[in-house]
Structure 1
Amino acid sequence: MQQGVSIKGLVLCGGYSTRMQQDKSHIAYHGMPQWQYLHKLLCSVVPEVYISCRPDQQEIFAGTAPLITDTVTIGGPAAGLLSAYAAFPDTAWLVLACDLPLISLQSLQLLLSARNTAKAATAFNSPVNHLPEPLIAIWEPRGLEVLQQSVAGGKQCPRKALLQTDIELLENPYATEQFNANTPEEMQEAIKLIN
């Protein structure tokens, strides 16, 4: 296992939330906007946390937290991941997508305790499709390099990049926390589960 690779947190807020019909990062599942809840959660486990956003969102997040604005011209979460990699190429990233209303400290602690810096990433196995969860994961610099090569080859899916390389894949005993809320119906389901 490699030592000395620093880790930062990244909240991915750059999506357009088309299916949700409102910005997922601003839904208040926990009495505050979701981006703020995730930022606070990450701050409890890593020393430095950034918000990843599109250039047109900078004004929304200005002054709230350190920002990494998308610098690559692709869409989707790969833009945020690769922009973070470009800003800090020797850093690992504990990444959370803003559509995870049930995620809590226990899942993050599990990821961090199982982190394998000798592999490209440490990720949970999805309880839905049994594939790696790329947006609740620790991406090591090598994993982000694989994603960069994948995008250069026309494939922008972070999950597919993880499938191309050697990762530490974990079963999460708190698998419910991996629930994604991408539609108004899923948002309502999440609210019921939280309450």
Structure 2
Amino acid sequence: MTAPLKGLILCGGRSTRMQQDKSLIAYHGMPQWQYLYQLVHNITPDVYLSCREEQKPALSEDVPMIFDSIEGNGPSVGLLSAHAAFPDAAWLVLAVDLPLISQQSLQYLVSQRQILKDATSLISPVNHLPEPLIAIWEPSGLKKLQHNFNEGKNCPRKTLLQSDILQMENPFSAEQFNANTPEEMKEAEEQIKH
């Protein structure tokens, strides 16, 4: 049976390298979380922001949120909090630090979804490894992530590497650029202008 697909925008990081909350940067004339929310909402109407409870006042009251419900740091906390809230759902997951991502990359990812795999993931153009935060995680993959997390292994990419996944080259791979520092933010802003 196909797990229903929900969207998850990961906003809960501490943004220490960026020196400001990455979810609030307005690359596209609106906060980044809102830009990504709209992109994902075009694919599935059931979209959630994953964040820490103290972030709520800076984000919108009008969108569904899943607060970090387990102890720990890193994106696994957001993924596993979503899995705990909706254990039967699959999640189209996007990190908030993707200023160049567009509808075409997301539609390509969703069009390739393999429901019998643990996850469907794009390949990083930088290191040619699966992108755990531009991926569709099926419930089976999230169970494996939970197991690894419980064992003290907190890396979603390592879970993907140990799992039965489909990974694909994105024809729009330039859109996978991560902006985690002020310099990368400026680089992204220049690319968006052109």
Q: Deviations over 1:10-37 (max 9, x none)?
A: 0000000000000000000000000000
Alignment of 1:15-164 (within 5 A): 15-61=13-59, 63-164=61-162
- The 8 Å contact of residues 50 and 78 in structure 2, kept in 1 or not, is answered as yes
5+ residue gaps, structure 2, are none
Alignment of 1:178-193 (within 5 A): 178-193=176-191
Distance 2:112 2:153 in 1: 28
* C-alpha separation in 1, matches of 2:58 and 2:177: 26
Instruction: Report what 1:7 is aligned to.
Output: 5
Letter in 1 for 2:85: A
User: Which whole-Å CA distance do the structure 2 matches of 1:60 and 1:68 have between them?
Assistant: 15
Give the CA RMSD over aligned residues: 0.8
- The answer (yes or no) to whether the contact 1:124–1:170 under 8 Å persists in 2 is yes
Deviation at 1:62? 5.1
Give the number of aligned pairs. Answer: 193
* Alignment of 1:172 onto 2:170: yes
Tell me if structure 1 keeps the 8 A contact 2:2–2:115: no
After TM superposition, which residue ranges in structure 1, 4 or more long, deviate above 2 angstroms?
Answer: 58-62
Identity of aligned residues (%): 63
TM-score (normalizing by structure 1): 0.97
- Distance in 1 between the 2:189 and 2:100 partners? 9
TM-score normalized by the length of structure 2: 0.97
Please give the alpha-carbon distance, in whole angstroms, between the structure 1 residues aligned to 2:2 and 2:148.
26
- Which sections of structure 1, spanning at least 5 residues, go unmatched? none
Letter in 2 for 1:112: V
1: CA distance between counterparts of 2:32 and 2:59?
A: 13
Q: Aligned partners of 1:173, 1:117: CA distance in 2, in Å?
A: 21
Shift of 1:60: 2.6
Give SS of 2:114's match: coil
